[in-house]
Chains A and B, each alone.
Chain A
């Protein structure tokens, strides 16, 4: 017999706290699809993905309906295309991206990630072809996401790749200038990218992963915020230790939902269950914001002094609660602070309380990085590379994942607004201080060596 509290609390999480499973992502290895003919490669990929994912959307909807918890996004992640299709040219890489886009559309999947390369130590021919193809591929497709890992704690930072990605981001923005540079919203540069991320734009299926696997990304910022508000209302003298405990307990509940639903979908699809990614992922829906949690914890706005400490507390409490709730935790696992995708963070950027420098500081304690940050369209490629290099350094030195998803919006200046639509949200262009002072450093190239503490053997 259930208790009244168990029933009512669950109901409340659903009705007014936006509890959902943010994504169920089916990983599919494409290594057995290799071919020297691009048409044959795409056909093999189509056959394999279709065989595994034909019922993905229907099964997710049925399982979600059965438990009364919606699965918002159904996605596919594939082996890094730069490896699986390593022999092809940049133009052929674009053809592959279009083929993957068709497959995702036919299967009614929201996004397909894995138009990716891992270049932290250097480039293969396939890596170069893929990166060259990114601007065109993202312009020609709607559902394809691209990630490039340019650094790791074990390898250091490939500064040639950082320089190349600065230029690639500018090209991707210009190639989609008619849509405010939306190509860049589907492109992310990583340090220490996990092999099992279910969230976009970083989702891909690593080389150590099984042939097919279900990974789940949970959501829940609204649930955490309401739990904090309730706890503070019930006990106005509750301190940060007590509030951390509240967040932990709530993260446990949110994660259990993701774990249960992911496992059921995996059983129905007949593929193994991989991990739950414990990230708090906001959306531009009111009440589904990570930024609002900062206000519930006493800050005037995200970006106010104290924000890094709040984020550190939040990220840690979410992990502690989530790890106990799930048998396998992976992916990024922490709080996301995507500027345009979160109403409260977007408002702080618009109002000037949140600057790009403060965002960067905060990324040293959260799970992703400078995410969905719109910057002036005329920001030089070298400046973008400089921002990426700083972000990668934070990840490499701290032994964690960091990423940069920057959108230099063509024709727009700091303070202008841009609307990407849907989950990507609206943003105010953030000023980038320091102007063009990064070019000399970026032009040096080479690889920043791995930090001393990476040598653990």
Chain B
């Protein structure tokens, strides 16, 4: 069955998921997967729906716009095909944490290095917290490091990049976080 991805972006408010899922239902689509997140005041949602034959992409887009435009939301629809699914290369899950004063270019600096080593980011979060009367900017990246990556070289490069950015960095296998906190 044909699958369609619906992307919705804009200012967060109540009723967005309800509006999108109602339109999908009316258009004969079965919602398979949905994920949403909001950051500060902004909302992003991704909906993957299996479409029945009578559902047409342009018609779906028109109906969604009609419902979402008044809410100030942007919507984008595209078909999901086999070409989108890349087989995952063998990899190990790690967590990178950085701590240090906030400044421009930190995420770009770290992620640029990760990209150059073929490391895929599966989750990224940044938080500010108070530590002994001063503010610290903590970023943590959940990443998949390809099995064939030279770990020592990657670790050394990451340390060096963090040093240039004025950050303390830790690279730890993800298992430790799960084992310590989960039963």
A interface residue numbers (CB < 8 A to B): 1-11, 13-15, 65-69, 253, 256-257, 259-260
Closest to B152 in A: A65
How far is it, in angstroms, between the C-alpha of A173 and the C-alpha of B12 when the chains are bound?
74
State whether B176 touches A68 (Cβ < 8 A): yes
CB-based contact B140/A7 at 8 Å: yes
B121 → chain A closest CB, angstroms? 12
Contact present for B176 and A8 (CB under 8 Å): no
- Contact check, B174 vs A2: say whether CB atoms are below 8 A apart: yes
Is there contact, CB below 8 Å, between A257 and B180?
yes
| A14:B173 contact, CB within 8 angstroms | no
When distances are taken between beta carbons in the complex, the residues of chain B under 8 Å from A11 are 97, 99, 138, 170
Contact status A7-B97, CB under 8 Å: yes
Q: List chain B positions with a Cβ less than 8 A from chain A.
A: 95, 97, 99, 122-123, 125, 127, 129, 138, 140, 142, 151, 155, 170-182
- 26 cross-chain CB contacts under 8 A: A2-B95, A2-B174, A2-B177, A2-B178, A3-B181, A4-B127, A5-B181, A6-B178, A7-B95, A7-B97, A8-B127, A8-B129, A9-B180, A11-B97, A11-B99, A15-B99, A67-B172, A67-B173, A67-B175, A67-B176, A68-B171, A68-B176, A253-B180, A256-B180, A257-B176, A260-B179
Q: Known: A2-B95, A11-B97. Contact between A260 and B176, CB under 8 A? A: yes
Determine the residue in chain A with the shortest Cβ distance to B181.
Answer: A6
Q: Which residues of A contact B175 (CB under 8 A)?
A: 67, 260
Chain A residue, CB-CB nearest to B92: A66
Distance from A113 Cβ to chain B, minimum over Cβ atoms (Å): 28
User: What are the residues of chain B within 8 A of A13 when measuring CB–CB?
Assistant: 180
Task: Enumerate the 7 nearest inter-chain pairs by beta-carbon distance, A residue then B residue, closest first.
Answer: A68-B172, A6-B181, A67-B176, A256-B179, A253-B180, A260-B179, A7-B140
> Contact: A1 with B177, CB < 8 Å?
no
Q: A14 touching B177 by the CB < 8 A rule?
A: no
Q: Which residues of A contact B97 (CB under 8 A)?
A: 7, 11
- Min CB distance, B39 to chain A, in Å? 13
> Which residues does chain B contribute within 8 Å of A69, judged by CB atoms?
172, 176
Contact of B177 among A7, A15, A65, A66 (CB under 8 A): A7
Residues in B with CB closer than 8 Å to A260 are 175-176, 179
A8 and B131 alpha carbons, distance in the complex (Å): 12
Q: How far is the CB of B122 from chain A (nearest CB, A)?
A: 8
**CA of A81 to CA of B51 in the docked complex: distance in angstroms?**
75
Whole-angstrom distance between the Cβ of B60 and the nearest chain A Cβ: 29
With a cutoff of 8 Å between Cβ atoms, the chain B residues found around residue A4 in the complex are: 125, 127, 140
> Is the CB–CB distance between A257 and B138 below 8 Å?
no
- The distance from the CB of A325 to the nearest CB of chain B, in whole angstroms, is 9
Give chain A nearest CB distance to B150 CB in angstroms.
Answer: 14
Do A1 and B123 touch (CB < 8 A)?
yes
B142 and A1 within 8 A (CB): yes
A7 to B175, CA, bound (A): 12
Give the distance in Å from the alpha carbon of A69 to the alpha carbon of B155 in the complex.
15
- Give CA–CA (A150, B59) in the complex, Å: 87
Chain A residues closer than 8 Å to B177, beta-carbon distance: 2, 6-7, 10
Residue among A67, A69, A259 with max Cβ neighbours from chain B (10 Å): A67
Q: In this complex, what residue of B is CB-closest to A9?
A: B181
Smallest CB gap from A11: residue in B: B97
Which of B140, B173, B180 lies in contact with A66, CB distance below 8 A? B173
Q: Among A9, A65, A66, A257, point to the contact of B179 (Cβ < 8 A).
A: A257
Residues on B with C-beta less than 8 A from A1 are: 122-123, 142
Among A6, A8, A67, A253, which residue has its beta carbon within 8 angstroms of that of B138? Answer: A8
Q: Determine the residue in chain B with the shortest Cβ distance to A63.
A: B173
Cβ–Cβ < 8 Å partners of B151 in chain A = 66
CA distance A11 to B138 in the complex (A): 10
- Least CB distance from B160 to A in Å reads 16
The minimal Cβ–Cβ distance linking B123 to chain A, given in whole angstroms, is 5
Are A253 and B125 closer than 8 Å at their CB atoms?
A: no
* Bound: A9/B179 CA distance, A: 13
CB-CB under 8 A from B171, the residues of chain A are: 68
Most buried by A among B125, B177, B180: B180
A421 to B178, CA, bound (A): 37
Additional pairs, 10, CB under 8 Å, beyond known A8-B138, A10-B172, A256-B179: A2-B142, A2-B174, A7-B125, A7-B177, A9-B180, A9-B181, A10-B180, A67-B176, A69-B172, A253-B181
Contacts of B99 in A (CB 8 A): 11, 15
Contacts A1-B123, A8-B129, A11-B97; A68 near B181 (Cβ below 8 A): no
Give every chain B residue within 8 A of A257 (Cβ-Cβ).
176, 179-180
Docked CA distance A436–B174 (Å): 59
**Which A residues are CB-close (under 8 A) to B181?**
3, 5-6, 9-10, 253
B154 CB to closest chain A CB (Å) equals: 12
Closest residue to A8 on the B side, CB-wise? Answer: B138
Cα–Cα distance between A151 and B71 once the two chains are bound (Å): 80
Give the residues in chain A near B140, CB-CB below 8 Å: 2, 4, 7
Q: Give the complex CA separation of A68 and B171 in angstroms.
A: 7
Which chain A residue lies CB-closest to B151? Answer: A66
User: Chain B nearest CB: distance from A246 CB in Å?
Assistant: 15
User: Please, which residue of chain A has its CB at the minimum distance from the CB of B132?
Assistant: A16
A74 to chain B, nearest CB (A): 19
* Bound Cα distance from A13 to B173, whole angstroms: 16
CB distance from B180 to the nearest CB of A (A): 5
Q: Which residues of A contact B173 (CB under 8 A)?
A: 66-68
Q: Which residue of A lies closest to B182 (CB)?
A: A6
Report B167 CB to chain A, min CB distance, Å: 13
Closest to A254 in B: B180
| Chain A positions within 8 Å of B142 at CB level | 1-2
A129 to chain B, nearest CB (A): 46
